[in-house]
Chain A
Amino acid sequence: MSEAVGGHAFQYSSARHQAESAVSGMWLFLATEMMFFGPLFLAWIFCRHADPAAFDAGARQTDLFIGTINTALLITSSLSYSFGVAFIETGRRRAMILCLVIAWLLGGAFLMLKFAVEWPHDFERGLFPGAEFVFTPAERNGAQLFFVFYFFSTAIHGMHLVVGLGLVAWIMLRAREFTPSRNTAVFVVGLYWSFVDMVWIILYPLIYLIGRGP
């Protein structure tokens, strides 16, 4: 049932009630996502604590340049999407579409750098845990734990980003429907898009920085 009554679905008392329910629903979903990523962060603490020297030896083999560029790309992408939300709230639909296209392209650039440049380079250098793993026996176990964390966490984050790209594309395709008074979907997708950025902001130091002491 999605019968609209006075600009809102029948089960809501007002359009504002409907919009607030959508925003709250997305935040509830994001709270469950925090619980989803929480054990991954806990795994990082456990694995590093088991053998910090070998775990950090693995971390030092990651590509800091690409990791840092990717962080800047996602932050800029979130900024661009947030401008898109601000533009549709003032009725500037074309400006919103332009901002969303930029956000989408920056997200796509992140995925390209991560999975078409960084991962293949890691595979070539024998950093994928297995028979060809390059580390010495003394560092092997700890470094393998690091790279299991690295490949698993970046894959899970990448999957979330792919879902985000799909959602942003869906908003762009439906852009004509949004007005200053009807844009909750744009805002709610923006919450998800920024959350994916947040997860990367935490993963970035765990993967690239903490193990790189002088």
Chain B
Amino acid sequence: MKVRTTQLFTSYLLLLLLLAAEFGVARLPLGEAARGLVLIPALMMVGIVAMGFMELGKAPQTARFFALAGAVWLAILLGLGCLDPMTRVLYPTQSTAVY
């Protein structure tokens, strides 16, 4: 119980520190392209919740496989989904709409 208590409080402290870091990074004068950096502490927090609170490291092999599969499919969904807006060039055209 003592080991688990230490683990839980360490995870909690790290989560609060990362929350503060996330808050601080959001205040930095980052360029438009770098605003996504704010998500790095958030992703680290997700990892800490998974390992510290949900004990994913000690979970059965099938459970770890399902968690990994979910993360991989999410990465594929977001990765392929982002390709269009990130690579498309929008050329200005004259509006032909009739109001």
* A interface, CB within 8 angstroms of B: 20, 23-24, 26-28, 30-35, 38-39, 41-42, 45-46, 49-50, 52, 68, 71-72, 75-76, 78-79, 81-83, 86-87, 90, 190-191, 194-195, 197-198, 201-202, 204-205, 209-210, 212-214
Known A82-B53, A86-B4; judge A205-B22 contact (CB<8 A).
Answer: yes
> Which of B23, B35, B43, B49 sits near A68, CB closer than 8 Å?
B23
Interface residues of B in 59-89 (CB under 8 A from A): 59-60, 62-64, 66-67, 69-71, 73-74, 77-78, 81-82, 85-86
CB of B59 to closest CB in A, whole Å: 6
A and B contact pairs by CB, cutoff 8 A, 24 listed: A20-B60, A24-B62, A27-B59, A27-B67, A28-B66, A31-B66, A31-B70, A34-B74, A35-B70, A35-B74, A45-B82, A45-B85, A46-B85, A75-B16, A78-B53, A79-B11, A82-B8, A86-B5, A190-B54, A191-B54, A195-B54, A201-B42, A202-B42, A214-B27
Verify A190–B60 contact, CB threshold 8 A.
no
Majority-rule SS of A interface residues: helix
Chain B interface (Cβ < 8 Å from any Cβ of A)? 1, 4-5, 8, 11-12, 15-16, 19, 22-23, 26-30, 32, 35-36, 38-39, 42-43, 45-46, 49-50, 52-54, 59-60, 62-64, 66-67, 69-71, 73-74, 77-78, 81-82, 85-86
